[in-house]
Chains A and B, each alone.
Chain A
Amino acid sequence: MIRYARLLRLFFRTELQYELEYRLNLILEILQTVVVTATSVGAVLVLFSYTTVLNGWDLGAMLVLLGCFYLVQGFGELVLQPSFEKFMEHVRLGTLDFALLKPASAQFLVTLRHFQVVALAQMALGAIVVAVGLGRIPSVGAFEAIGFPIALVCGFALIYALLLALSTFAFWFVRVDNLMALYWSFMDAGRFPVDVYPGWLRVTLSSAVPIGVAVTVPAQMIAGRLDAIGLGFLVVGSATAFYLASRFWRLGLRSYTGASA
């Protein structure tokens, strides 16, 4: 475990160095993140100038949710998006072989290998928006405060599991970029609480694209709208998803090593 943490730090550091070399690009990207976040916070504020509650979500809870969305999306862009894109490239070029020849977990080496450091800015902004939203919520209890990071990590795990499962299809079909692009566009829907959507879309967002769960549940947690049982479900559910996705990935890997020439 310590070794993997050290590796993760090393992966992060090398990519950080790389991105720091392109200073102007980095500054522009951070600016863009700020503008995008400010716009969607603005949209929420405009919305709440007409109403005080949206399907049970008041402005404070809504801001927390938006912050969670940026945290989860930022996590996706920080490590998952760049790593999974490279993973599919490796399958196409046959360079995945090198990861399989290393005395370490191939899944780790492939899926958490690349970082897009600028996404940290988005996560930071997300944290700020959560904090601002919390300022409008009367009180946050100990249970909520402890449960929130747990729910957030579960959200990350859910997103990771889904992407892992989707990208596994690359072992058989090689080109699955479109599938991944579809996923990222679904992701956008997560910036509103999943229960404002009509039934069919809610089911899609929460089950097929667990973004609904990954974003909404942590927000519900800190806004005091989730109990211990709900949190328990989330923990068990995301652990199961992570386990199953990893199994599926290894199955795909077996067919890769069984067939490539």
Chain B
Amino acid sequence: MTEVVVDVRELRKTFQVTEREEGLAATLRSFVRRHRKDVNAVAGITFRIDAGEVVGFLGPNGAGKTTTLKMLSGLLHPSAGEASVLGYVPWRRENAYLQRMTLLMGNRTQLVWDIPAADSLRVLQEIYRIPEAEFQGTVKELTELLELEELVHKPVRNLSLGERMKVEFAAGLIHSPRVAFLDEPTIGLDVSMQVRIRRFVAEYNRRTGATILLTSHYMDDVVALCKRVIVIHRGRLLYDGPLADLAERMAPYKVITATLHDGAAASTDLDAYGTVVSREEGRVTLRVDRQVAPERTARLVNDLRERLADISVEDPPIEEVIDRVFTSEQTTVSA
């Protein structure tokens, strides 16, 4: 039986923001009398995450991802709704809960700039009351997984962004948390460092069985790490299910790419088969309704015969699917 680690029910967070128009007069008016407006950062979301899952939390800027993570880590009180993580109510901020969770933010550091990370790790050992043997074991494991050897002994200010992020991971995971909330952990990193961080997260999850909820703007992170994704937009849940099914549910079309032999791609009329998205050299890309895709493909092969060098039928790229979800107003789809 799997244990439910994160249980969120109808969680809401409403912020009050002061609104004012541009210009001095408007500024003065608003100084006297402020117009307040309610903004629903999170407008009632419900989901559950089982122990050991790695779930991708997707949404455009301002969708409510970070607000949700902050509520789940206990930094924010919700306006309404319930949440339980490892059986604790996060915003009560009980030490027993804080001892078992971590929040890592890609754009913020908890390390002290002027001193080496090794010293910060010692401080964390004392704060979390980690026995020496266990501490040594964890440091050894994290050092090996993240290739930290040299890094922990240099002052943090001398590290590159990528190196700092690796050390940040070590600091955030030193107490072996059962739940990790990762907010944009690869933001600003170069591609090879992104790959290494991803590999680390996957391996860490495999070794420790920790439950991970991750937000990222890089779809590669999500594709590499998460079997399941939760998509939110304007504070509402749009999709919760397998990453593999996201395209099927959210993008009702397939992409057919046909390569023609004689360079006749520019002249051949293919509009009858589907919507032509692009034509370049000998290659034509068509968008075709999901239901009719097999039949159109067969016709295309049949009609073009030997002029056809290659043909492929695929789901649209995940970025495109996500973009489609965010630009169109769709109702909730749950898997």
A: residues with CB less than 8 A from B are: 3, 6-7, 10-11, 14-15, 17-18, 93-95, 97-98, 100-104, 109, 257-261
The reply to whether B67 and A103 form a contact with Cβ atoms under 8 Å apart is no
Task: Tell which of B73-81, B137-145, B304-312, B317-325 binds the partner.
Answer: B73-81
CB of B109 within 8 A of CB of A101, answer no
Interchain CB contact under 8 A, B109 and A95: yes
Q: State in angstroms the CA–CA spacing of A69 and B75 once bound together.
A: 40
- Find out whether the CB atom of A6 lies under 8 angstroms from the CB atom of B126: yes
Among candidates A94, A104, A109, residue contacting B108 with C-beta atoms closer than 8 Å: A94
Which residues does chain A contribute within 8 Å of B119, judged by CB atoms? 14, 17
Chain B residues numbered 60-80 whose CB sits less than 8 Å from any CB in chain A: 66-67, 70, 73-77
**Which of A10, A97, A100 is the one whose CB lies under 8 Å from B122?**
A10
B76 near A260 (CB under 8 angstroms)? Answer: yes
Query: What residues of chain B lie closer than 8 Å to A109, measured between beta carbons?
Result: 127
Contact A103 B108 (CB under 8 A): no
Distance between B222 CB and nearest chain A CB, rounded to angstroms = 23
Apart from A98-B110, A103-B96, A259-B15: 14 A-B pairs, beta carbons within 8 A = A6-B126, A7-B123, A7-B126, A10-B122, A14-B115, A15-B115, A17-B119, A93-B108, A97-B70, A100-B75, A101-B98, A103-B98, A261-B67, A261-B70
B95 within 8 A of A: yes
Central interface residue in A3, A14, A95, A260, by most chain B CB within 10 Å = A14
19 residue pairs A–B, Cβ–Cβ below 8 Å: A3-B129, A10-B123, A10-B126, A14-B112, A14-B122, A14-B123, A17-B115, A93-B108, A95-B108, A97-B103, A98-B108, A100-B75, A102-B98, A102-B127, A103-B96, A103-B98, A104-B127, A257-B76, A261-B70
Within 8 A of A (CB), among B23-53: 41
**Contact, CB under 8 Å: A261 / B108:** no
Query: Does B299 sit within 8 A of A, measured CB to CB?
Result: no
Kindly provide the distance from the CB of B270 to the nearest chain A CB, expressed in whole angstroms: 48
Give the complex CA separation of A14 and B77 in angstroms: 35
- Chain B residues whose CB sits within 8 angstroms of the CB of A11 once the complex forms: 123
Q: Which residues of A contact B74 (CB under 8 A)?
A: 100-101
Task: Point out the residues of chain A lying under 8 angstroms from B101, CB to CB.
Answer: 101
Residue in B75, B102, B105, B128 with the greatest tally of chain A CB atoms within 10 Å:
B75
